[in-house]
Structure 1
Amino acid sequence: MKPYERLSKLYSRDWGKYSSKYTELISNVIENYNLKVHSVLDVACGTGILASELYSRNFEVSGIDISEDMINIARENTRGIDFQVSDMSEFKFNKKFQMITCAFDSINYLTCDAKMEKTLKNIFLHLDDNGVLIFDINTPTLYEERHFGVIDRDFDEIKFKQILEYDKEHKIGKTIFDFGNDGSEIHIQKAYSADEMDKFLLESGFRIMNRYKDFKLSPIDDKAYKIFYVVQKSL
């Protein structure tokens, strides 16, 4: 199966619950940096949970995701948001946004330099002058220390296995969602360090405003599992 073909039906029952934390993070960033934000594009928006929460706070919101299954659910659940099926490196809008978000380690799905560069360039082009991008990445530390083994999942009697593997040499993490006789989904991600991500951002024209290791906006350290970036389109 394609990534999120089956998982899209289950997403909100577990992973989607973190959207509220992300919404608060965005609100805190806006307040801390005194940003003027009315329009938001949520890149890799999934089933639209984060986009919906932002919309409920009176932001003008659009969302894109490469998974048609995820977008179909997003459209069913929320009205008033322009959801589009598109690759994050190729989406096109006839407008720019004051803020773009890309949550829940979606950037890690970009596993080659060329795709990363193309995506960041596309996001840059869709931001207003001085517009802000907020996103997070999983670091090599997370994959090395936590991305292994098998997790048994059970959602309303839908049972499946989440199998975690990591190729340290190539920094490639593989997650297999095994639904038994109903098939499986394979998700491939690449781990990025702060230094690697900083280089991509600076070469794409962004100014790094800050980096945090958690939803509480704590400073990063060498042991950070995740890094939350707040970056700005430089003029």
Structure 2
Amino acid sequence: MNNWYREDLAYIQDVGFSNYTLKSAPGILAILERDRIREGLIVELGCGSGLLAEVLTSKEYRVLGIDISESLIEIAQTRVPEAEFQARSLFSAEIPPCSAVISVGECFNYLFDAENNAVRLMELFQHIYNALMPGGLLIFDIVEPGQMDSGTEQRFTEGKDWVVLVDKVEAGDILTRRIITFRKVGEFYRRSEEVHRQQLYRAAELAGELERIGFQVEVMGNYGEFALPKARVALIAKKPSDSQS
């Protein structure tokens, strides 16, 4: 688990790339309110540094956050001490009975876990369905093919004590990100590197699989007023109120 979002990248992710989660949060709260989920346990898969967990606990939900990165979990535990967090794979986590499961930031695409494939993802969806209370929601987003016009992209972003360089290549249904970070530690900058791979899914196909499990599914390009970036899609899957847990 220490291979992904290690200390420096976890720090940079938290301080430099919080906008996606924070802009998604009001729309997610509105979806929960629309479906009258105003209390209970919410399980957040791929919880990162606890940004959404902090918002949810401020609304008096109980939160269980799960992420494969131990460094991100350490940040989350400090940020939201009233929530529970676990450092483990999404595919091996026990999901207790809950009101909603949320996964923001295309977490289901990441191939961090060798067990992540289309079959295991469907098994995870079934596991979530079984854990949800009747009327409960699964809210998540994915990245689809077509994120980049040319198939390759390079960019850099900098903060007051860090720089991150990203080289992205989309080949078929696999997106590969090579991420090089420089973080100031004391007088000098420390260099780190990670390579992240994602399996690109099509929202229509996942919606069909979710419906076969028993969910009622909406496919959206936004969380409330926040329009998702190119090739990202949100899926809202509801367990019917008359379902048996």
Q: TM-score range, shorter-chain basis?
A: 0.7 to 0.9
- Give deviations 1:169-195, integer Å, cap 9, x for gaps: xx1001111137723111111111122
Equivalent residues, number: 228
The answer on 1:205 being equivalent to 2:209 is: no
**Which residue number in structure 2 is paired with residue 108 of structure 1?**
109
Q: Displacement of 1:32 after TM fit? A: 3.0
Moved more, 40-49 or 117-126: 117-126
- Give deviations 1:199-232, integer Å, cap 9, x for gaps: 3312333221x11102236999xx9622111111
**Which residue number in structure 1 is paired with residue 233 of structure 2?**
227
- Give deviations 1:90-111, integer Å, cap 9, x for gaps: 1115x31101100011111155
Pairing of 1:12-161 with structure 2 (within 5 A)? 12-93=14-95, 95-109=96-110, 112-142=117-147, 144-145=148-149, 148-161=152-165
TM-score by length of 2: 0.83
Structure 1's unaligned 5+ residue stretches are none
Give the alignment partner of residue 190 of structure 1, picking from 193, 199, 207.
Answer: 199
Give the Cα–Cα distance (whole angstroms) in 1 for the partners of residues 36 and 149 of structure 2.
Answer: 37
* Greater fraction helix: 1
Give the Cα–Cα distance (whole angstroms) in 2 for the partners of residues 63 and 87 of structure 1.
Answer: 11
Decide whether aligned partners of structure 1 residues 229 and 217 sit closer, same or farther in structure 2, where only a CA change above 3 A counts.
Answer: farther
Cα RMSD, aligned residues only = 2.5
Give the Cα–Cα distance (whole angstroms) in 2 for the partners of residues 200 and 213 of structure 1.
Answer: 19
Give the alignment partner of residue 214 of structure 1, picking from 216, 222, 225.
Answer: 222
**Which residue number in structure 1 is paired with residue 179 of structure 2?**
177
Q: Displacement of 1:3 after TM fit? A: 1.9
Structure 2's unaligned 5+ residue stretches are 183-189
Q: Displacement of 1:146 after TM fit? A: 7.4
What amino acid is the match of 2:117? C
Give the Cα–Cα distance (whole angstroms) in 1 for the partners of residues 237 and 108 of structure 2.
Answer: 14
What amino acid is the match of 1:107? F
TM-score by length of 1: 0.86
Moved more, 144-153 or 35-44: 144-153
Percent identity of the aligned residues? Answer: 21
The answer on 1:164 being equivalent to 2:168 is: yes
The answer as to whether partners of 2:57 and 2:83 remain within 8 angstroms in 1 is yes
Give the Cα–Cα distance (whole angstroms) in 1 for the partners of residues 144 and 232 of structure 2.
Answer: 6
